[in-house]
């Protein structure tokens, strides 16, 4: 019982319990219910005369009210933000219209401004949120930048990003999150391709050349690496100076998104194996030798080069050495 009570509030919201009442009594009752009675309880979202918080059914069964939504945002902000995010509705018949009303989105904006960590790792939703509540754009941007100072992006396996204009260099701290969304979301890569991703990045930060990237002085190492990857997308090749910047920006905490983004750039541009690219991948493999998840992000790059005709990695037998982190 103590374990249930210690769960995070967004996890508690998914349980058929009223946390204002005795948990022990409710769990005992649930354990003694038959299958039919338990199904009825879940379907009705009530236990006796007590209504239970069931966020998804609250939206899907036309039970939506603005007062109820504000209560959900207040009590379970993680759940509300996840329900509002479009990725959570992939595969459903339709996204509930109520989620995009002015009052609904304003409540989400308030939650994000109070606790920006709720949304900072989901850049695909930033643009839509700012667009729907433009009067709160300044507050939202400041909040996201505040959270980005202390958090690192994560790879985004799914979800298509909408473009948010990032002002450089002032908002450079947001760049790693933008790239993690653009370069590691499979649906974006498959549907947009190199030209589409490049255009999306141009809409977000303009055309980033290596010269322009060098002109920004006081930015974080992660933002510097993000700028360099965008510059590589523009030029279509990898040069010696890229090695120094990307390798110098590597940190164990940002390894997964950085290597995933790098691998996506190689795949999108069909960058061939050369002495320069081989040196860069070799350094990245060496630095991430103890991080399986990060090293795994380079598997596609190694596979593409192994499959290429007359690829040195095949003819020289370097694959095993690279995978062992010693090349």
Task: State residue 178's pLDDT score.
Answer: 85
- 10-residue mean pLDDT profile of the chain (327 residues): values are 49 55 66 69 54 48 72 82 66 68 92 90 84 94 91 64 83 89 67 84 92 92 93 93 91 86 87 87 89 84 73 48 49
Task: State residue 217's pLDDT score.
Answer: 85
The alpha carbon of 61 is separated from its chain's Cα centroid by a whole number of angstroms, namely 29
* Tokens matching residue 196: 């589409």
Q: Whole-prediction pTM value?
A: 0.72
* Tokens matching residue 309: 């005709």
Q: What is the per-residue DSSP string for 106-134?
A: HHHHHHHHH-GGGTTT-GGGHHHHHHH-G
Do residues 266 and 233 touch, judged by C-beta distance below 8 A? no
Task: State residue 312's pLDDT score.
Answer: 52
Task: State residue 60's pLDDT score.
Answer: 45
Domain residue ranges of the chain, discontinuous segments joined by +: 1-53, 59-151, 155-327
């Amino acid at each position: 019982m103590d374990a249930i009570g210690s769960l995070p509030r967004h996890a508690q919201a998914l349980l058929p319990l009223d946390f204002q009442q005795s948990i022990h009594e409710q769990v005992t009752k649930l354990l003694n219910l038959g299958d039919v009675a338990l199904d009825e309880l879940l379907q009705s979202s009530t236990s006796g005369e007590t209504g239970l918080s069931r966020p998804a059914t609250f939206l899907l069964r036309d039970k939506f009210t603005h007062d109820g939504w504000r209560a959900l945002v207040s009590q379970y902000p993680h759940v509300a933000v996840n329900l509002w995010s479009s990725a959570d509705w992939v595969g459903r018949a339709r996204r509930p219209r109520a989620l995009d009303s002015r009052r609904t989105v304003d409540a989400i904006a308030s939650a994000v401004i109070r606790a920006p960590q709720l949304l900072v790792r989901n850049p695909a939703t930033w643009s839509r949120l700012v667009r729907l509540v433009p009067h709160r754009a300044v507050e939202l941007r400041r909040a996201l930048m505040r959270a980005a100072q202390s958090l690192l992006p994560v790879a985004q396996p799914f979800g298509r990003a909408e473009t948010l204009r990032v002002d450089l260099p002032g908002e450079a701290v947001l760049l790693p999150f933008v790239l993690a969304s653009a370069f590691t979301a499979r649906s974006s890569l498959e549907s947009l391709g190199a030209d589409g991703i490049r255009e999306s990045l141009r809409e977000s930060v303009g055309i980033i050349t290596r010269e322009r990237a060098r002109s920004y002085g006081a930015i974080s190492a992660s933002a510097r690496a993000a700028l360099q990857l965008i510059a590589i997308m523009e030029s279509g090749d990898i040069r010696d100076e890229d090695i120094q910047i990307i390798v110098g920006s590597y940190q164990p905490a940002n390894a997964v998104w950085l290597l995933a983004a790098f691998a996506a750039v190689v795949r999108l541009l069909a960058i061939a194996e050369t002495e320069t690219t081989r040196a860069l991948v070799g350094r990245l493999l060496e630095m991430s030798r103890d991080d399986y998840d990060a090293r795994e992000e380079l598997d596609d790059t190694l596979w593409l080069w192994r499959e290429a005709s007359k690829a040195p990695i095949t003819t020289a037998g370097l694959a095993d050495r690279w995978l062992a982190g010693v090349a």
